[in-house]
Amino acid sequence: MIEVEIKGVALSLETAAGLFSPRQADRGTLAMLSCVDFAPGAKVLDLGCGCGLVGLLAAKLCGEENVVMCDIDPLAVDVARKNALRNGVGGVKIVLSDGFRALDDAGFDLILSNPPYQSDFSVAKGFIEKGFNRLKLGGRMMMVTKRREWYRNKLAAVFGGVKVREVDGYFVFEAQRRGPSYANRRGFIK
């Protein structure tokens, strides 16, 4: 069980062996959340939700009806559903999905992700490229990793720019959708 308070919101989270960071709230995730401003009514996607920390915090601050959470791991989806009920936000939408494959929702104000950056970049590449099209104009994607260059370059190529902050040894990336198509297709990136 993880007990955590973030942005004045107390969460109690069940975890399980085999899930990401099963003993404590992940430092990278906490670094990312320290950079996020949640607005009431904002539509938020927790991409790769794990036990649900990010999505449940968003549900508490933005309204559970505005939050979608997804993960490729059936165990993560099951634990996230239990945690949503445990924390009084059972109305969040939680979907078993490999990235965006089984997810129909779009028009997000905010997509948040702590991608599996220790492996190859194919998962993150899909998250960034597909995520761009799921954001509304003005919507933002935020990611956290220990690797800077690849993520900075990829997000800048797709979004036309990226803000990078270093927090507690992690890099927090924030990119905003400013147009209908990828930046490198509009001539922003050469």
User: Would you say the C-alpha torsion 32, 36, 41, 42 has a positive or negative sign?
Assistant: negative
Helix (H, G, I), strand (E, B) or coil at 183: helix
The per-residue pLDDT for range 155-178, each reduced to its tens digit, is: 999 999 999 999 999 999 999 999
User: In sequence order, what are the beta bridge partners of 172?
Assistant: 144, 165
Q: pTM, whole model, 2 decimals?
A: 0.93
The per-residue pLDDT for range 151-161, each reduced to its tens digit, is: 999 999 999 99
pLDDT at 187 over 60: no
Q: Are the CB atoms for 71 and 77 separated by under 8 Å?
A: yes
The amino acid that residue 12 corresponds to is S
Q: Which residue has the tokens 């036309």?
A: 160
The pLDDT assigned to 185 comes to 53
Dig out the tokens for 189 from the structure.
């990136």
* Domain range list for the chain: 2-186
Q: What percent of the chain has pLDDT over 90?
A: 84
The per-residue pLDDT for range 56-93, each reduced to its tens digit, is: 999 999 999 999 999 999 999 999 999 999 999 999 99
pLDDT at 46 over 60: yes
Q: Where are the beta strands (DSSP E) in the chain?
A: 2-6, 9-13, 44-47, 67-71, 93-96, 108-113, 135-145, 163-167, 170-176
The pLDDT assigned to 119 comes to 66
Is 2-186 in CATH node 3.40.50.150?
yes
The pLDDT assigned to 180 comes to 85
Angle between helices 74-86 and 53-62 (to 10 degrees): 40
Q: Running DSSP on this structure, what letter comes out for residue 93? A: E
Which residues neighbour 127 within 8 Å (Cβ) at sequence distance 6 or greater? 47, 48, 99, 113, 115, 143
The per-residue pLDDT for range 110-153, each reduced to its tens digit, is: 999 998 766 678 889 999 999 999 999 999 999 999 999 999 99
The pLDDT assigned to 61 comes to 98
